[in-house]
Amino acid sequence: MTSTPRIRVLFDEATLAKRNDELAKEIAAVEPKDLLVVAILKGSFMFASDLLRSLHRVGLMPQVEFVHLSSYRDGTTSSGQVEILRDVQSSVKGRDVLLVDDILESGRTLVFAKDLLMARGANRVFSTVLLEKPNKRAVSIGADFVGFTCPDLFVVGYGMDIAHYYRELPFVGVVDHVDQEPDMFGGA
């Protein structure tokens, strides 16, 4: 018999909602032109959707695109290689782009995405991340807009997962206890 992981709330729903509204005001202050929001899938989907509603409330009318990049696949540590699993469909030429990602850890994914969009002719590429782990950087990059600094813990919820589980949680939580389940955590 296996037990379910205990998940401790790190950032609750109200805290996330308040910070999204603050981030939207910070983003609006840079006066983006012809804004295209590009959400990096899969982990950012909940953050991106809430942030988009907050951007609307501050008067911005961005278009939205998605890119699916991965350096993790089914693991819990980065492979170090970023792959494009789904590319942006719209032209970014001459536009301001806001990359939205769930977590800035090694920085490889964000550098890859930013370089890709600049090479395609974006006017400016800004980045916003829900969580930043500043001591985990493998490359030199910082996000333009950061929701929260995150302790060096494995987090789930609010779009983030462990082996595709727990994305649906309405908060960001920390897995405090896991009994290895073969089908969920890659075999034990």
What the chain holds in terms of domains, given with CATH numbers, is 13-153 (3.40.50.2020)
Structure tokens at 157: 């919820």
Global pTM value: 0.87
Q: What is the pLDDT of residues 128-149, one digit of tens each?
A: 999 999 888 888 899 999 999 9
Average pLDDT over residues 172-177: 87
Per-residue model confidence (pLDDT) at position 165: 93
- The predicted pLDDT at position 2 comes to 53
Q: What is the DSSP letter of 158?
A: T
Candidates 140, 136, 110, 109; CA nearest to 125 is: 110
What is the average per-residue pLDDT within 9-16? 98
Count other C-beta atoms under 10 Å from residue 26's C-beta.
Answer: 13
Categorize the per-residue pLDDT at 72 as very low, low, confident or very high, splitting at 50, 70 and 90. Answer: low
